[in-house]
Amino acid sequence: MSHSILSALGLAETNSGTYLGNGEWSKTSDAGVLEPVNPTTGEVLGRVNASSQADYDAIVERAQAAFKVWRTTPAPRRGEAIRLCADALRTHKDALGSLVALEMGKSKPEGDGEVQEMIDIGDFAVGLSRQLYGLTMHSERPGHRMYEQWHPIGLVGIISAFNFPVAVWAWNSFIAAICGDISIWKPSPKTPLSAIASMKICNEALNKADFPDLFFLFNDAGSALAQQFVDDKRIGLISFTGSTKVGRQVGERVAQRMGRSLLELGGNNCIIVDETADLKLAIPAIVFGAVGTAGQRCTTTRRLIVQESVYDEVLAKLITAYKQVEGKIGDPTDPANLMGPLNSKEGVAAYLDAIAKAKAAGGKVESGGAAIERPGNFVLPAIVTGLTNDAEIVQHETFAPILYVMKYRDIADAIDMQNAVPQGLSSSIFTTNLKRAEAFLSAAGSDCGIANVNIGTSGAEIGGAFGGEKETGGGRESGSTAWQAYMRRQTNTINYSDSLPLAQGIKFDL
Ligand code: NAD
C-alpha cells in the first residue's frame, strides 16, 4: 500500500532530498540519510539522502540567478506559473493526500484537505497576482506626485513543521512566487517524502511550460544547514513554522543580521462555552478541535472554559463523544477512522508526561490518558478537569490530544482566562448572545490572531491572514494582505514642476 502511494508520486526507495533546479536532483549520498517512519506501523517508509554544504551553496546561487529573471517578470505572468502548479496538484490530489496521511499520520480526508488547501492558495495567488496594490497619496508640495509600490524581496527561506507538511510550503511559496520571489524550502525531517513529492509535482509543471525555477529544496540531516540558512544574509525573509522554542532562536538570529522573519509558532487555543450556547454546534466543534489530527494542529483546542450552569452537561456530552472517537482510532489512511497516531514516539512521551504532570498538579483524567497497546504511536484523546488556568501544564502547548476543561461564572473572567496564557493563536466563543459575541471580538476581548464565534479554533480558511500574537510569533501568512510580508515597500515621489520645494516648508536658498 505505502509502496503504491510512493510510486504513484514518482518516489523511489531512496530519494534525493535536494532539488537543484533545472529538473536536477542532487546525487549527494554522503551527507546523512533521513528515514521517515510510518507513525501507524513504525516501519521506515523510504530513505532520503540529506543535502551537503555544496548542495546548499549551489541552491542559493541558482536561486539568486533565478530571482534576477523572475523579479522583472510581470506579476500576472507569475500568476500563470502558479495556476499551472495548482492544476498539477488537482491531478495528484488523491495520491499526495494519501502520502501526507501516511507520513504525517493524519486522516485521509485531512490529508486530502491539506492538498486542497494548496490548490486553494494557488488559486488565491493567481488572482492576487493582479492585485499587488500600492497606495497613492497627495504630496504636500505643488507639482509633485507621491505613491508607493511593492517590489519582491528576493529569496524566501521556508522552514516548516511536520504537522502540515505541504500546505505551509504552498502558503509561503505560492504567494512568494507571485510577489516575484524565489523560495528555498527546508521541510521537517519527519516528513521529507511529502516535500519531495510536492516539489516534483510543481516543478515538473513549471519546467514543462518553460518557467524558470521558482522553488528549491534541501533536507538537513541535523540542523547545521538550517542554522546556516537562518544566518544567511542572502535570504531576505525566513518564514519559520514550528515550536516556540526553536522559533525564538530563529527570530533572534534573523534579527541579529537585520533580516526579516515571519514566525508561526505554538498555540494554546481556547473555546469559551456560555449558558446560551447551541451545544449541537459546540460539542462537535470542541471534539474536532481537540481530537482532529490527534491534537497536532497549531490551532488544536487545548483549553475549554464553560459557564458553571452548563458545565456538567457539556462535560458529560464530551465524555460520550470521546468514547465514540475511541472506537474510530486507527490507520489514518482508512477513511472510516477519525483519529490516527501521533507522528512520533517523542510525541507519545510528551503526551504521557503531560498527563502525569496534570495528575500531579491535582488534575482528574475524565477520559483517555493512556497510550494504546498496538504498533505505532497511538494514544487515547484525553479530557482533564480540576486544574486552574494558571497551572503550569495548562499554560504550555503539549502537541497531543489533551483538553483541559475549566469553569467560569462571569464572562469577563472567561475572557481574562482565555487571554492569560503566553500564546495567542486561535480562540472561539460559543454563544447565542450577541453582546457577548461582540465583546469577545472587541478590543477588550480575545487577544489572539484568530477569534471565532460559533466555530471551533481549528480549520481556518485560506482567505484570511493566518497567525497569532505573543509567543505565537506575530507572523501572518496566507490570505488578506499577508502577501506584503514577501515584498518590500518603496515610496516614490516625482517632481514634475520647475521648482524644488522642500518638505515641511524648509528653506535652503543657495
Ligand atoms: P519544531 O520546532 O521541532 O521544528 C520545526 C522546523 O524547525 C523543522 O523543520 C526543524 O527541522 C527545524 N529546526 C529545528 N532546529 C532548528 C534550528 N536550530 N534552526 C532552524 N531550524 C530548525 O516543530 P515541529 O515539532 O515540527 O512542529 C510542531 C510545532 O509547530 C508546534 O509547536 C505547532 O504549534 C507549531 N506549528 C505552528 C503553526 C502556526 O502556523 N502557528 C503551524 C504548524 C505548526
Element (H, E) at 55: helix 53-70
Determine phi and psi for 63, rounding to 5 degrees. Answer: -65, -40
Indicate if 219 and 242 belong to the same structural domain.
Answer: yes
- Among residues 294, 364, 363, 356, the alpha carbon closest in space to that of 325 is found at 294
**% of the chain beyond a pLDDT of 90:** 98
**Looking at residue 333, what is its pLDDT?**
86
State ipTM: 0.99
Q: Are 37 and 343 in contact (CB under 8 A)?
A: no
Indicate if 239 and 275 belong to the same structural domain.
Answer: no
Residue 335 pLDDT grade (very low, low, confident, very high; cuts 50, 70, 90): confident
Check residues 509 and 167 and name the one with the higher pLDDT. Answer: 167
Indicate if 345 and 415 belong to the same structural domain.
Answer: yes
Residue 496 within a domain: no
The answer to whether the CB of 264 is under 6 A from ligand 1 is: yes
Beta bridge partners of 303: 270, 404
Residue 504 within a domain: no
The size of the chain, in residues, is 510
The answer to whether the CB of 266 is under 6 A from ligand 1 is: yes
- Which domain, by its residues, includes 485? 2-265+473-490
Indicate if 58 and 199 belong to the same structural domain.
Answer: yes
Q: Are 337 and 381 in contact (CB under 8 A)?
A: no
Indicate if 163 and 280 belong to the same structural domain.
Answer: no
- In tens, the pLDDT along 74-91 reads 999 999 999 999 999 999
**% of the chain beyond a pLDDT of 70:** 100
The answer to whether the CB of 263 is under 6 A from ligand 1 is: no
Residue 501 within a domain: no
Indicate if 28 and 95 belong to the same structural domain.
Answer: yes
**Looking at residue 510, what is its pLDDT?**
87
**Distance, CA 246 to ligand 1 centroid (Å)?**
7
Looking at 177-248, which runs of residues are DSSP E strands? 182-186, 215-217, 235-241
Sign of CA dihedral 394, 395, 398, 401: positive
**Distance, CA 233 to ligand 1 centroid (Å)?**
21
Indicate if 313 and 232 belong to the same structural domain.
Answer: no
Residue 497 within a domain: no
Indicate if 169 and 58 belong to the same structural domain.
Answer: yes
**Looking at residue 1, what is its pLDDT?**
66
**Over the Cα atoms of the chain, what is R_g?**
24
Indicate if 232 and 293 belong to the same structural domain.
Answer: no
Question: Helices (DSSP H) in 129-217: which residue ranges?
Answer: 167-178, 192-208
CA distances from 273 to 125, 286, 333, 408 (A): 36, 10, 33, 10
Interval 292-300 mean pLDDT: 97
**Looking at residue 392, what is its pLDDT?**
98
Question: What is the Cα–Cα distance from 306 to 315, expressed in whole angstroms?
Answer: 9
CA 243, 402, 310, 392: dihedral to nearest 10 degrees?
-60
Residue 503 within a domain: no
Is residue 463 pLDDT above 90, yes or no?
yes
Q: Which of 166, 243, 343 to mutate to test the pocket of ligand 1 (most atoms within 8 A of CB)?
A: 243
Indicate if 261 and 244 belong to the same structural domain.
Answer: yes
Question: In ligand 1, which atom is closest to the CA atom of 399?
Answer: 31
Q: Which residues form the catalytic set?
A: 264, 298
Residue 397 within a domain: yes
Question: What is the Cα–Cα distance from 271 to 293, expressed in whole angstroms?
Answer: 18
CA distances from 154 to 160, 235, 259 (A): 19, 7, 12
End-to-end CA distance of the chain: 82
Q: Which of 218, 298, 301, 302 to mutate to test the pocket of ligand 1 (most atoms within 8 A of CB)?
A: 298
Residue 370 within a domain: yes
Helices 167-178 + 75-91 axis angle, to 10: 150
Query: Average pLDDT, whole number, for the chain?
Result: 97
The answer to whether the CB of 223 is under 6 A from ligand 1 is: yes
- In tens, the pLDDT along 111-138 reads 999 999 999 999 999 999 999 999 999 9
**What angle (nearest 5°) sits at the alpha carbon of residue 170, between those of residues 201 and 456?**
130
**Distance, CA 470 to ligand 1 centroid (Å)?**
17
Residue 330 per-residue DSSP state: S
Indicate if 137 and 256 belong to the same structural domain.
Answer: yes
Residue 405's CATH number: 3.40.309.10
Sign of CA dihedral 166, 169, 175, 178: negative
Residue 477's CATH number: 3.40.605.10
Residue 509 within a domain: no
Question: Helices (DSSP H) in 391-469: which residue ranges?
Answer: 392-395, 411-419, 434-441
**Looking at residue 55, what is its pLDDT?**
98
Indicate if 261 and 392 belong to the same structural domain.
Answer: no
Interval 210-220 mean pLDDT: 96
Is residue 3 pLDDT above 90, yes or no?
no
Domain tally, the chain: 2
The answer to whether the CB of 164 is under 6 A from ligand 1 is: yes
Q: Which of 185, 188, 229 to mutate to test the pocket of ligand 1 (most atoms within 8 A of CB)?
A: 188
Q: Are strands 402-408 and 487-495 parallel, antiparallel or unpaired?
A: unpaired
**Looking at residue 318, what is its pLDDT?**
98
Is residue 197 pLDDT above 70, yes or no?
yes
**Distance, CA 145 to ligand 1 centroid (Å)?**
45
Is residue 72 pLDDT above 90, yes or no?
yes
Question: In ligand 1, which atom is closest to the CA atom of 229?
Answer: 20
**Looking at residue 2, what is its pLDDT?**
82
